[in-house]
A = this chain, B = another copy of it.
């Protein structure tokens, strides 16, 4: 029997398969309720407090709708006819739901410090027989977990399934753009998902879009570009991210040098400091655990740890200047010296942060990870690549956008500003 979840983005999320319902109820999926989708972004956009859990069920729902549309309008009649084979439905929906299950708290920052990898973790959670996720998937078939994992790893043979979950216009991106727009209260990420789904169609090598829907696809690419510029790369949130990086680095330093007082030991983090991380250790971490340690550390006897923890919890982001490459070494050294003079150890009180994104790219076999380009289908069945049809998309194709900034405590901002004006 169909059950539903109420969702602000898709109104209802329809759960029609027992397996999906069971997956949602696993502890690995429920853990995503305790991990914010946007990390430190909600220090700038206070409404954006939504979790990876809401995003995951949203990606599932979009995939479900696409499967339904494909089955209604393009059902396969003979194997290999390039149409949609409804036997792919369940593996698609499971992969959609689980695609982010390996994410940890503040993934980007955490992975930087502790050398973990959320995609590898997702695969491990799906395959490791100790997880509830794996147990649910195995009930479908012994090789089902491996199948689902291969979709995540993009090695699954059917490109339609892979591209629905992971491509330059996939259910993942579509959900996060709409959801992050809604929760931040901006509308840069809005695009016409109903129309995009109407012009989507399976073909031999994946998923294409009717040429008549070109402008809707174009609008989606531009919306994503704008979300990066306006929301994801916001310099204040990044000031919180640098703070977090330095705070975790300080804790690691203390732990690795046995400088943590006994009662301040972060039990659940120790495996990470010792680089001996088991999957089950990983699965106990979430935003709650990390922030709870930060809370304890606010009264630490280590002054740097205590100060950084307070700045992070009480939202005192580092300030920054944009770095243009030529001035780079000189100005950094000067800022670090100013920090030092004010008693701030530059190692823990300053730092770089770069944010770059490739808004769209056509297929380029010479790249390390060539991207699947967005294909438009003409009435006669011929394909044409998006940027050859849209001058707007063409203007941002293959060009990274973003910037590099250098962060430092607010206390030295006046002196840095003076410095900056001299350059």
Contacts and interface: CB of A to CB of B under 8 A. Distances in A.
Interface of A: 2, 4-9, 11-12, 25-27, 30-31, 33-34, 42, 45-47, 49-51, 53-54, 57, 73, 182-188, 190-192, 194, 198, 215-216, 218-219, 222, 225-226, 229-230, 263, 267-268, 284, 286-289, 291-293, 295-296, 310, 313-316, 391-392, 394-396, 399
Nearest to A222: B222
Given A188-B219, A215-B230, A229-B215, A6 B47 contact: yes
A99 to B, nearest CB: 17
A54 B50 contact: no
A222 B219 CA distance: 9
Contact of A391 (B42, B54, B399): B399
B57 A53 contact: no
Nearest to A216: B230
A198 B8 contact: no
A185 B392 CA distance: 24
Copies of this subunit: 4
A197 to B, nearest CB: 10
B291 A295 contact: no
A11 B187 contact: no
Given A6-B185, A8-B182, 13 more contacts: A2-B73, A6-B186, A7-B185, A34-B313, A46-B53, A49-B49, A49-B50, A190-B190, A216-B230, A218-B226, A286-B295, A391-B399, A394-B395
Contacts of A26: 314
Contacts of A288: 287-289, 291-292, 295
Contacts of A215: 188, 226, 229-230
A108 B34 CA distance: 21
Contact of A226 (B51, B219, B295): B219
Contacts of A47: 6-9, 50, 54
Nearest to A56: B46
Contacts of A192: 186-188
Contacts of A50: 47, 49
Contacts of A49: 33, 49-51, 54
Contact of A396 (B2, B73, B391): B391
A7 B54 contact: no
Contact of A45 (B6, B73, B391): B6
A208 B144 CA distance: 42
Q: What are the 7 tightest A-B residue pairs by CB atom distance, in nearest-first order?
A: A8-B185, A395-B395, A292-B292, A288-B291, A27-B314, A8-B47, A288-B288
B399 A7 contact: no
Contacts of A293: 292
